[in-house]
């Protein structure tokens, strides 16, 4: 009986510690960028990027202004790009993509950038400028 109470106490202590540290994550900076009542969140990421970066699919269901809210680890810089499905296929097969990226910008700190995008499937690439970094990114559409 006494052993069970101690085990429950340890479990409760661990649960409280997890709840406390959950509020201490890096995701907080995006809270300063408001999401409008008509905005639809299309993509949410909280990632530790290595020097190779990361790419994610993004589907935009109709013509929209897409806002990319980004928080980069302090002191770090990130290249954020949005490319078309055809450009991604070319890159994936080792070819040079045609045309320019829909969005290509450098981000540091907490920032929000937007671009008007027609309906379609896109690739969002995040490439750290100097070594590994932690990034929180949210893509939201406003129709």
CA atoms within 13 A on the CB side of 21: 6
Q: For residue 14, what pLDDT is reported?
A: 39
Q: Which CATH number fits domain 30-142: 2.60.120.380, 1.10.357.10, 3.90.700.10, 3.90.230.10?
A: 2.60.120.380
Q: For residue 1, what pLDDT is reported?
A: 52
| Residue ranges of domains in the chain | 30-142
Average pLDDT value for residue range 42-68: 97
Whether the predicted pLDDT of 44 surpasses 50: yes
Whether the predicted pLDDT of 25 surpasses 60: no
Whether the predicted pLDDT of 56 surpasses 60: yes
Q: Cα separation of 91 and 43, whole Å?
A: 22
Whether the predicted pLDDT of 61 surpasses 90: yes
Whether the predicted pLDDT of 78 surpasses 60: yes
Average pLDDT, the chain: 85
Q: For residue 18, what pLDDT is reported?
A: 34
The DSSP code sequence of 71-125 is EE-TT-EEEEEEEEHHHHHHHHTTPPPSS--SEEEEEESEEEEEEEE-SEEEEEE
Q: For residue 28, what pLDDT is reported?
A: 72
């Amino acid at each position: 009986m006494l052993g069970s109470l101690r085990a429950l106490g340890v479990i409760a202590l661990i649960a409280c510690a997890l709840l406390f540290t959950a509020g201490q994550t890096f995701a907080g900076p995006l809270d300063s960028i408001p999401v409008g009542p008509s905005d639809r969140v299309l993509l949410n990421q909280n990632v530790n990027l290595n020097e190779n970066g990361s790419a994610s699919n993004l589907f935009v269901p109709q013509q929209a202004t897409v806002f990319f809210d980004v928080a980069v680890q302090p002191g770090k810089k990130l290249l954020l790009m949005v490319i078309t499905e055809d450009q991604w296929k070319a890159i994936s097969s080792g070819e040079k993509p045609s045309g320019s990226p829909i969005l290509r910008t450098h981000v540091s700190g907490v920032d929000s950038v937007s671009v008007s995008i027609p309906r379609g499937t896109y690739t969002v690439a995040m490439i750290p400028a100097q070594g590994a970094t932690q990034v929180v990114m949210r893509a939201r559409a406003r129709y």
